[in-house]
Structure 1
């Protein structure tokens, strides 16, 4: 009986730890404060850089997990874009989660 109970508790713990709600969520209020540098490009609808022209991805309404993954990949060099690498290099995991939480609640009509 004790082994069954222990196994059951371990199984519940494993399922709980893998569920999306159990993972640390970002703080959208903190993300808004940290998003100031991002808004120069990602906050202006239909914005493209002057030369050479780079399309700027829309972040408003984007899934938080996607934003965190993209920032991690820019930081570690898996994605190559010098401007984003420079921006992401100084971000902590919590910073990324906060920014993702903010942009996932930002209106999708904006960049």
Structure 2
């Protein structure tokens, strides 16, 4: 049920008081003691919860993508370093072979 002008804030508290009157055959009224009651009801803000879930999902996806990108960059950098080391060792071996041949 939707109640206009009432924001869903997870719990709604309500109190009501009724003053009953007894009308007799002659038309006179006599008041009876007031009756009051209170209740608590759930009012879940579904649109807000969906919005928070979307924001959380987007943040999680962004962080996941960022971690993967950093891991890929680190792997590329390590491959570049490994290639440079292999090239330097190869040049050193070639120099050593040429020096020993002379």
TM-score after normalising by structure 1: 0.24
More helix by share: 1
Higher relative contact order, chain-length normalized (CA < 8 Å, sep 6+): 1
TM-score after normalising by structure 2: 0.26
**Larger Rg: 1 or 2?**
2
